[in-house]
Amino acid sequence: IERLYGWASAAMVALVREGYPASPRQFVISEGPSNSFDGSTTMGGSGQFTWDLSFNALSESLLDPETTRLILRHIIANSDFETVPMSVPQAWDGYRAYPNTVGAGQYCFDYVAAFLFVQGYVTATGDVDFLTTPILNNHDGRDATPLDFLRAIAWAWKAYPASTESPYLVDYGANKRSFLEAAETYIDVIAALQAGNAGMLLSLARLLESVPSLPRKNADEIADLRSNGTRIAEDMMRYQFVPGVGAWKCLKASPYVAPVEVRCIADSVYVGLSAGLLAGHAHSALDGAFPMSAAARRDMVDLVFRELLGNGWVRALSPLDPSMANISCRGGFHG
């Protein structure tokens, strides 16, 4: 663990920059020409996407907890709790620091990413008091705590239309800019997002149980979180998992359109986080009690090693994904 942290922190320190408006130090994660803050033009620049930041939440929290806390305050203060679905901002270097107001958006992976970012900071630093710290929201002028924020994003899925297969599996639409643009078929009812929803609900239930001093919304909150999270996970396994392959299906908005199998790393990552696969034990970053059989876990891990790891890289999409049928992979594919 110390070696992994050493590698991660060395990479971040190599990119550290000072003098940006957002915070005293920025660990730049995106290089390239300047772009628009709303992402409407070429991506690049010195960007701090909330989704990207979530993957180095633990490392940055250990390396520079002050900067991490400032970024989280920025995200929570500028999230719009009143929009349906709620909106979450990015954390661009060029933005002036909190309490400066910035706009928020509905990039679908930002819900689980922001949850992981807050969770990573609290886990790494032990700063449980942060969860009940009032932060003035720049959109509605009311105080919201990080715990309020976790609740809001854990339930954000309820604002999306239910799939035809299950009221617990929701349809995020077909706008590719709302997702990780790995494949044109990676739209609608995406397994990674359903897994994130289940994981957030189950994880929040475990947090409230583990820290009795945290205020509960009502007497049934933990039971509601756990029952909804479990139903999402159960219906994912029933309707989206491909047994024997380890892949997942994107369900379609129309009952007349067949589900599409997608072999995407994002599904493996977020199901892995929720089911405990990435931690190698029963409890992981997003879990509570994700109902996934040992055989299904083996299938998913085998898919990753068989098709998504190779040539020194982790592939975003398997060369055997159906969308790649007419695309030639330079250098060939060796499973």
The pTM of the full predicted model, rounded to 2 decimals, is 0.89
Confidence band of 274 (pLDDT split at 50, 70, 90)? confident
Cα(9)–Cα(100) distance, integer angstroms: 28
Last residue of a domain, one of 112, 141, 159: 159
Is residue 155 located within the same domain as residue 186?
no
For 301-320, how does the pLDDT look when each residue is reduced to its tens digit (9 = 90+)? 999 999 999 877 889 899 89
Task: Judge whether 132 lies within some domain.
Answer: yes
Task: Judge whether 106 lies within some domain.
Answer: yes
Task: Judge whether 333 lies within some domain.
Answer: no
Residues 97 and 74: beta-carbon distance below 8 Å: yes
pLDDT at position 278 over 80? no
Q: Which domain holds residue 142?
A: 1-159
Residues 6 or more apart in contact with residue 192 via CB below 8 angstroms: 109, 248, 264, 266, 267, 269, 270, 271
Is residue 182 located within the same domain as residue 307?
yes
For 108-155, how does the pLDDT look when each residue is reduced to its tens digit (9 = 90+)? 999 999 999 999 999 999 999 999 999 999 999 999 999 999 999 999
Residue 215 burial (C-beta neighbours within 10 Å; 0-12, 13-18, 19+)? exposed
Is residue 149 located within the same domain as residue 178?
no
Last residue of a domain, one of 127, 159, 191: 159
Last residue of a domain, one of 117, 137, 159: 159
Domain count, the chain: 2
